[in-house]
Amino acid sequence: MKVACPSCSTYNRLPAARLQERARCAACKAALLPVSRPIAVASTEDFDELVRDSKAPVLVDFWASWCGPCRMVAPELEKLAAERSGSAVVAKVDTDAQPELSARFAIRSIPTLVLFRNGREARRIAGAMSASAIAAQLGL
């Protein structure tokens, strides 16, 4: 997984299995983990590694840049990622950039939020809602 440093924006490569541990940026030495912001998934391989190897639940937002409701839910996911830092990982999959993932999970509307536990889909919801509503509906 590539994780952007919140301080200097440098991307650092980290194994998904260790996202609950502590790590520092290679460039500026700022704390990278636990992840307190959504992680942009850059490839199918990164997605598979994250969902398969993460010890924490992974909430994946399937979204697109042209989608108004997706832009409305983005700040709520930022809040959720900060609130659940260390106990859950929030990831974002751009459906235009990763159409094979959209097809694999039969994404028919966006935003669609899918919760993965132990490498398997546990729950799914669609539509824009507040961070508290997302957490309540997905059992986070």
Domains held by the chain: number: 1
Residues of the chain with pLDDT under 70: none
pTM here is 0.86
Any idea what the CATH number is for the domain that residue 70 is in? Answer: 3.40.30.10
Does some domain include residue 12?
Answer: no
Confidence at residue 62, expressed as pLDDT on a 0 to 100 scale: 97
Q: Helix 68-83 crosses helix 131-138 at what angle (to 10 degrees)?
A: 70
Does some domain include residue 27?
Answer: no
Does some domain include residue 77?
Answer: yes
Distance CA 133, CA 128 (A): 10
Does some domain include residue 92?
Answer: yes
Both structure tokens of 117: 């536990």
Distance CA 91, CA 113 (A): 10
Does some domain include residue 5?
Answer: no
Domain enclosing residue 79, as ranges: 35-138
Q: Which residues contact 24 (CB under 8 A, 6 or more apart)?
A: 30, 31, 32
Does some domain include residue 134?
Answer: yes
Does some domain include residue 15?
Answer: no
Confidence at residue 5, expressed as pLDDT on a 0 to 100 scale: 85
Our CA dihedral for 118, 125, 15, 42, rounded to 10 degrees, sits at 140
pLDDT in tens, 45-58: 999 999 999 888 99
Confidence at residue 60, expressed as pLDDT on a 0 to 100 scale: 96
Does some domain include residue 2?
Answer: no
What is the amino acid identity at position 93?
A: V
The catalytic residues are 67, 70
Confidence at residue 91, expressed as pLDDT on a 0 to 100 scale: 94
Both structure tokens of 12: 């650092």
3-state secondary structure 51-62: HHHCCCCEEEEE
| CB crowding 77-108: b at 16 or more within 10 Å, else e | beebbeebbeebbbbbbbbeebeebbeebebe
Task: Find, among 121, 37, 111, 108, the residue nearest to 79 by Cα.
Answer: 37
- Mean pLDDT for the chain overall: 91
